[in-house]
Chain A
Amino acid sequence: MNARFLLGALVLGVASVSLAQSGSLSLPPTFVAGSAFSLPTTGSGKAVFYIVGPGQALRRDVDLGEPVSFPAGTLYNAGHYVAILSSGASTETGQFDVVPAAQPEKISFLAKPSRLPVGLHNGISGAAYIFDAYHNLILKPLPVSFELSNQSSTVQARTVTTRNGVAWTEMDSATKQGSAKFVARVGDISSTRVIAEVPGDPCRLVMTARPDGKNVELQTAPLRDCGGNPVPDGTIVTFTESYNGMQSTVDAPLKQGIAKVEMPAYNGARISVASGVVAGNEIRWNGR
């Protein structure tokens, strides 16, 4: 409806393009990007009509007195244009702007980061750029709704009006790990990004030891962060055994939630465990 009105207004409202001898070149101040338009001319004889603008240059041979028609999609880049009518020795110039269509057709949605720890205030940012069908940024204010949802948390939603074609917001990461859907929507078009909300540092690192022949088998309890989320497999846990001025270390990855290693069993050895900057418990091995 809106586009039809604009097209009608454009066709009805076109000014005439006339020869230098019979008047000045006058054009409407704006056209809508991609719309069809027609420019009546006055006078007689042959002339050449040029339109030069951002990324586009058009040339038409015209019969003066006949209208010059441009089908839909001819001028599609928003910006400032110059029109030139050249007939023999006389040249007339005029200027006009092509503005984006009012109807949004596409959202470019930048969501950062793609992965972050749980429970982070304003840790997720989203910026939506609203474009028309010809990839022109729509500068007119438009309401954009943002929605962040994770299966195990409440939905966060807010609406932001675009300024200069952009709307942005910040959201908190959920307290439970998982993939969150971050959606930006304007009108009936939307764009979705997936944010991985991952566990934080281990909150409590506890290992147990039991004899296994000449070795001691060390095993951590299932590792969880302070929100109760299981720390992902592959996380490195460092076991250190000190005895009689010597030391043994193993960097073992978590597998199925636990880290397990075997180290030589020395009575009186001190065995400690850590993961990153988080230290766990210490065991003094006495053979049991």
Chain B
Amino acid sequence: MAKGILIAVSIGIATVLLIVIGTIWPVSTAVFFAGGPGLGGSASTPIAASRRLANEIHQHALAKAYSSLGNKAQFTEQEFVSDLTGSTLSLRTYATLDTYEVRPLHESANEAEIALRMHWSTVVGTFEETRDLHLVKNGDHWVVDWPLVKKPVVPPQVFAVNYLRWDVIYRGAGDDWGSQDVDAPHVRIIDMHPVNRAEGVVVLGELLNEDVVPAYVSVRATLLAKNGSVLASEDSFDKISHTLLPKQVTPFLIRFPGVDISQIASIRMDPISVLVSASADPVIEVQNQKFNGPPAASLNGQLSNQSGQIVNIAHVLTTFYDKNGQLVWVAGQYIDRALLPQTPVDFHIPVPADLAKNIANERTVVASYRSGSSD
């Protein structure tokens, strides 16, 4: 009994002691994650100064980050914030800096170049961004010159738009069961191809809206084993352009992690379409697409918004074909900045190196989302 009380008292004293030590001499990592200065305290070296700036961006202490810059006289704090979070509503607006890496490029006694690679986290995944920082020694510490990306300015102009959209009136809840309703759009899978990858089976394909009305589409694939049982069932989630205008084609990609193609006897494909209100605008041109082969295989290009409206979020989806026109791969990328009218924005879609050697052609579509728009 007395022994138990002794142990309890000892644990209590040790706990209080640790709390006091942690409060007086906190670990810098803990301070950092608690929102304090933590890891970013020092600027005694170019790397440390870069890390401090990155930590401040991570903590969203953008005013503090701005005040630490060496070239802040060249732009306002608002321009700095817009550079990081986007000047108009876009993926960047709600993105948070997840992790970062700093890599020295060049260093002398008074100047240095550091590559800051930032990994931003968004609701649709991550995107990366690299800024080459120029640092200057100022007394005993280094200050960062921020490479501001100027917000593109769209010249005042008038766009003539032949407004074209579809609205739908469905039958009412109180209508007789025999009453006529509007049919769902006719869509058709025009190509489908399963691919075995290290992480599992991937089902690729293309879907055509063969109707004269717009469709909200999705595709579900069900893998069946040799005994007819269902191995797995998944849908295309965001690896598809969900709104298809008449005669428009979208690629789709459905992942089945942990499944090997040898387990599959057949695949059941279920395209889903719903008649929705939609607009035929904006038109987005995909310019200067260039496929770069292995080892760092990728498709690079630019998106150009041909309309007068701002596109807040654009999603690029590309279908890659071999020389016989067979599907090889489907890949995509969300654009982190809003598409301003007539202002090209770069995109970069990585392609698996082992598949890249088979690619001879590609086709790219763009799904766009506008704030305040229901279509």
Question: Are B363 and A249 interface neighbours, CB within 8 A?
Answer: yes
Binds A, one of B10-18, B68-76, B119-127, B240-248: B240-248
Whether, in the assembled complex, B190 has its beta carbon less than 8 Å from a beta carbon of chain A, the answer is: yes
Which B residues from 193 to 249 make CB contacts under 8 A with A?
208, 210-214, 245-249
Given A110, A250, A276, which contacts B285 in the complex, CB threshold below 8 Å? A250
Q: A264 at the A/B interface (Cβ < 8 Å)?
A: yes
Specify which of B166, B285, B289 lies most central, judged by the most chain A CB atoms within 10 Å of its CB. Answer: B285
Question: Shortest beta-carbon distance, A213 to chain B, in Å?
Answer: 14
- Given A115-B212, A234-B214, A234-B246, residue A248 in contact with residue B286 (CB < 8 A): yes
The complex places the Cα of A253 from the Cα of B290 at a distance, in Å, of 25
Residues of A within 8 A of B190 (CB): 277
How far is B181's CA from A264's CA once the two chains are assembled, in angstroms? 45
Q: Output the nearest chain A residue to B278 by Cβ-Cβ distance.
A: A234
Q: Is the CB of A199 within 8 A of B285?
A: no
B153 interfacial by beta-carbon distance below 8 Å: no
**Are B285's CB and A263's CB within 8 A?**
yes
Q: How far is the CA of A115 from the CA of B362 in the complex (A)?
A: 33
A115 contacts B166, C-beta separation under 8 Å: no
B177 within 8 A of A: yes
Q: Are B162 and A255 in contact (CB under 8 A)?
A: yes
Verify A114–B162 contact, CB threshold 8 A: no
Q: Does B180 interact with chain A (Cβ within 8 Å)?
A: yes
B280 part of interface (Cβ distance < 8 Å): yes
B245 touching A253, Cβ below 8 Å:
yes
B166: A residues at CB distance < 8 A: 234
Contact yes or no, B283 A251, CB < 8 A? yes
Q: Which residues of B contact A250 (CB under 8 A)?
A: 283-286, 306
Q: Is the interface of B mostly helix, strand, loop or mixed?
A: loop
* B245 and A234 form a contact (CB under 8 A): yes
A198 neighbours in B (Cβ, 8 Å): 212
Tell me, yes or no, whether A193 is within 8 Å of chain B by CB.
Answer: yes
- Nearest CB of B to A99, in Å: 22
Check B289 against A276 for contact (C-beta < 8 Å). no
User: Which of A129, A194, A233, A249 makes the CB contact (< 8 A) with B289?
Assistant: A249
Given known A199-B212, A276-B210, A277-B190, contact A264–B287 (CB-CB < 8 A): yes
The distance from the CB of B51 to the nearest CB of chain A, in whole angstroms, is: 39
Contact (Cβ within 8 A) A245 B280 = no
Does A252 sit at the interface, judged by CB under 8 A? yes
A256 within 8 A of B: yes
20 contacts between A and B (CB under 8 A): A110-B180, A112-B183, A193-B180, A198-B212, A201-B247, A233-B164, A233-B280, A234-B245, A235-B212, A236-B245, A236-B246, A246-B288, A248-B286, A250-B283, A250-B284, A251-B245, A251-B365, A255-B164, A261-B285, A277-B190
Chain B residues with CB under 8 Å of chain A are 162, 164, 166, 176-178, 180-183, 190, 208, 210-214, 245-249, 280-281, 283-290, 306, 362-366
Q: A108-B177, A262-B306 are known contacts; what are 18 more A-B pairs with Cβ within 8 Å? A: A108-B178, A112-B183, A114-B180, A114-B182, A199-B212, A201-B247, A234-B212, A235-B247, A236-B248, A237-B247, A247-B362, A248-B289, A249-B289, A251-B245, A251-B365, A252-B283, A253-B283, A261-B285
